[in-house]
Structure 1
Amino acid sequence: METMEGKVWKFRDSIDTDVIIAGRYLRTFSPDDLASHVMEAEDPEFADKVQKGDIIVAGWNFGCGSSREQAPVALKHAGVSAIVAKSFARIFYRNAINVGLPVIIADVEAQEGDVLRINLENGLIQNITTGKNFQIQPFKDFMLEILADGGLVKHYLKEKEAGSTQ
């Protein structure tokens, strides 16, 4: 997986899945429709302002609440390339990886608007704006493969196809 670089959007502790995508929008299966309402409860203009490649930096317990897979889907389709938080709700973490959205447990010093560069393979987060570096646990190869393939289902289908051609 290549290095990610993007502008920081800063969020508080305990951002729950209802804040990420409100229940009233769960009637749609369109990732684009979900993305158009992402983080509306926290910042009504977020979906209009976020750009492809941007990175969320948050506090503790990001993604708590219900187990809806639409929350990481909405973030990914809005353009968020990664989420860095001090901790994640376990089911949100799993759902994010399953849809191909990198989630990184780390305590980084970053302000909204800073630019971060993240390399999951070597375990380095660089705050380009401030010049500070943060070492994280490098992702294991199988996790990098799942993320590079766009999520667990796409990874499985790629592996299945590769197995049938041998």
Structure 2
Amino acid sequence: MAGDRDGSRDRGRDRRPAGGGCLRASGRVHRFGDDVNTDVIIAAQHKASALDIATMARHTFEDIDPDFVDRVRPGDLVVAGRNFGCGSSRETAPRVLSACGVAAVVAQPFARIFFRNAINSGLPVAECDTTGIAAGDELVLDLDAGYLEAAGTRRRVD
């Protein structure tokens, strides 16, 4: 198949690094609801500093969760309801989440454009039922094995 040898073929929904590997993340949940728009992940007025992702990251979720950047720690996970990342194709949205230390985003399901932008920028994403997962819960996400564990219960992830 063309492109296989150089690793450039389309990997579809496979979120593992090219050449194998796995992703296992564990961390605290930052919970959001349905229809979280890319404009609230990173507002347009902060896009002027697009060359400085660290500066932009200080404004992540500031319109809906002003304390997010103070609470988030490296390895934490963002968990949301339906249609996370809807709205405009703001490629910086997944980049600011990574810059804040977010290890992965879990939703049920994602807005398609955010899903692709996240994969393209290297932010792991997983789709599963997020009902019952609350802010502050500790999660384990294993994309290689295909599960998310919350409060001792495993859920299959896509």
- TM normalised by structure 2 equals 0.83
Specify the SS of the correspondent of 2:113.
helix
Specify the SS of the correspondent of 1:42.
coil
Does 1:110 pair with 2:133? yes
1:35 corresponds, among 54, 57, 60, to 57
Tell me the CA shift for residue 103 of structure 1: 1.1
Q: 2:144 corresponds to which letter in structure 1?
A: E
Does 1:62 pair with 2:84? yes
Taking the aligned partners of 1:135 and 1:63, their CA distance within structure 2 comes to: 21
Calculate percent identity across the aligned residue pairs.
Answer: 45
Tell me the CA shift for residue 122 of structure 1: 0.9
Query: Match of 1:135?
Result: 156
Taking the aligned partners of 2:87 and 2:42, their CA distance within structure 1 comes to: 11
- When the two structures are aligned, how many residues end up with a matched partner? 135
Taking the aligned partners of 1:58 and 1:82, their CA distance within structure 2 comes to: 11
Query: Match of 1:23?
Result: 44
Which whole-Å deviations, capped at 9, do the CAs of 1:114-156 have from their partners, x for residues lacking one?
Answer: 01001101101111xx21111123xxxxxxxxxxxxxxxxxxx
Specify the SS of the correspondent of 1:32.
helix
Give runs of aligned pairs for residues 49-128 of structure 1, distance below 5 A: 49-108=71-130, 109-127=132-150
Tell me the CA shift for residue 49 of structure 1: 1.0
In structure 1, runs of 5+ residues without a counterpart are 138-166
In structure 2, runs of 5+ residues without a counterpart are 1-21
Taking the aligned partners of 1:88 and 1:2, their CA distance within structure 2 comes to: 19
Specify the SS of the correspondent of 2:48.
coil
- TM normalised by structure 1 equals 0.79
More helix by share: 1
Taking the aligned partners of 1:85 and 1:39, their CA distance within structure 2 comes to: 16
Tell me the CA shift for residue 2 of structure 1: 3.6
RMSD: 0.9
Query: Match of 1:14?
Result: 35
